[in-house]
A and B are shown apart, each in its own frame.
Chain A
Amino acid sequence: MHIHFLDPYQPRQSLIHAMDGRVKLILAVAFILTTSLTPMGAWAAYILLSALLLSAELLSDLPLGYYLRRAFLVLPFILAALPLPFTVPGQLLAEFAIGGISLQISTEGLIRLISIAIKSWISVQIAILLTVSTPFPDLLQAMRSLRVPRLLVAVFALMWRYLFVLVDEALRLMRARSARSSQHPQGSYRSGRSIAWRARVTGSMVGSLFLRAFERSDRIYMAMLARGYDGEVRTKPLPPLTRAQWVGTLIGIALLLTILIFAQFLSLLG
């Protein structure tokens, strides 16, 4: 059931896929929160969290490389934390002199940089696992059961439904532009006019995309009215969580809490 190249959901017959969306959403957020709360340099806790993550990834019946590749997404942001080893005061680890400027690397700063990298690396993978194993409508239902305002969930749902239509529209606009633009085969010659001109062309494309969206939303509204829409968002109530689902959620949270307390305890000694 391929929907669109944008949809990250990967249908499989695995334990993780079979889990209830609500349980998965709660556990994924709890996992990221735990990771966020563990102190810097709590290597033991990072190892245990990674073990949980790896086990879940193995259970999801998707190749590990898939997660690793998509987790590279956070890599560019590491740039923001790169200066830490040079600025955080602490024990001197190494000293460089490049062109008369001496750079000092502190152990504390380096620990902080590596910890931030590991934390974001683990967190993004659990988020990937969540979206890869849960169809978006299930996630929406999970959000609703977690008290996200009904109206906001309804807007998310409609946005999701028309996302693919409008992305296709945007891709058609881009194809039309490249069909009308010449390009030198050597590539080193700039095609098109000045940057401001190219930006304006893109602006016109954005404007026409907006206009089409406006008109489409009118048509959708009319179609909804014709089918009895009265402004009220009605949804089928979700079945309550079974006892097994409750137990699973609680075990997961207890595990994460244990790791968190363990990590805090460890950092007090250090």
Chain B
Amino acid sequence: MLFSPMPMHIPDGFLSTAVSIFLWIVSILIIAYSLKRVGNELGERQVPFMGVLAAAIFAAQMLNFTVVGGTSGHLLGAALATILLGPWAAIIVMTSVVAIQALIFQDGGLVVLGANLFNMAIVGVAVAYMVYRTLYRLSGGKQWGIFVGGFVAAWASIELAALACALQLAASGTSPADVAVPAMGGIHALIGIGEGLITVGALAFLYATRRDLLTAGESSATQGKVVWGVGLAIALLLAVLSPLASAYPDGLEWVAEEHGFIETARAPFYEIIPDYVFPGVSNEALATIIAGVVGTLIVFGVALAIGYARRKRQEA
């Protein structure tokens, strides 16, 4: 669809249930904590402020520029939101954007939404914050700190979110790590440059027109130590895990196998169910044929019922 800036919204079916549920739990905890922090910082202003800015990020993702031959660059916006709003509000804003994309536009699945939130709203924001704050501090609050920091933060947020996505696919047994990690990492290293350029363009515009907005985030910076630490931890972990996983894809293969092991461990549970519960189940081919017949009958029955109801309505 026209709103998918990059192949990073995982659809349903591509992650194993164990990976999906684990990441749902992690994301829910972090988002709940961010909600509390934002409530303390913004007070009653938070609902209109974050709602409108989430809509702005969504709309900003539609703005594109042509690169070469039909391809175009877009914005993800995690880094820009982090720089302008601070980390906690950025997590909530990006959560809203990713959740609405999944719910309304099927950009990303529902059961895997936890993983998509983790990659784009949490990894993206935490890494961008860590990089931007570090470079901004190094520059001593000078102008180049904002722009260089903005560019590198935008690039890193895209790249690391993509690596997290690739590792999740590999851990689910969907894509071999030695293919997924270099492919996702490589493509997004390029996409990240576009993200960086747009982010710098936006920062330059705001620097010229409303400099106060760029420095507004500083007051809350003293409270951002946790995010800085989390961002650093995520960045280091992904930087170590990604080359390791692509060099030894069997490691993650092993994780995927473990899920298989959990599945076979459930066997005794299903042995309780006697054979006659599902007639024909003892033969797989036969079971498939029966399922086909039953399925066809269901659909046929529904179609007939609809046709009948429609005729009746016309007669009435």
Contact = CB atoms under 8 A, between A and B. Distances in A.
Interface string A54-94: 11001100000000001001101101110110010000000
Main secondary structure of the interface of A (DSSP, over half): helix
Interface string A220-241: 1100100001110100000000
Contacts, number: 314
Contacts of B35: 149, 151-152
Contacts of A192: 66
B224 interface: no
A245 interface: no
Interface stretch (B122-130, B138-146, B204-212, B225-233): B204-212
Interface residues of A, number: 106
A36 B12 contact: yes
Interface in A178-202: 192, 195-196, 198-202
A210 B65 contact: no
A127 to B, nearest CB: 5
A265 B278 contact: yes
Nearest to A222: B48
Contact of A48 (B43, B97, B294, B303): B294
B32 to A, nearest CB: 7
B186 interface: no
A10 interface: no
A37 B303 CA distance: 29
A55 to B, nearest CB: 4
Nearest to A198: B65
Interface centre among B35, B52, B267, B303 (most CB of A within 10 A): B52
A72 B104 CA distance: 16
Interface residues of B, number: 104
Nearest to A119: B13
Nearest to A219: B48
Given A36-B20, A196-B197, A264 B111 contact: no
A208 B205 contact: yes
Interface in B186-211: 194, 197-206, 209-210
A251 to B, nearest CB: 14
A204 B202 contact: yes
A166 B202 CA distance: 17
Contacts of A146: none
A133 interface: no
B51 A59 contact: no
Interface string B28-55: 0001100100010001111111111111
A51 B299 contact: yes
B202 A116 contact: no
B52 A207 contact: no
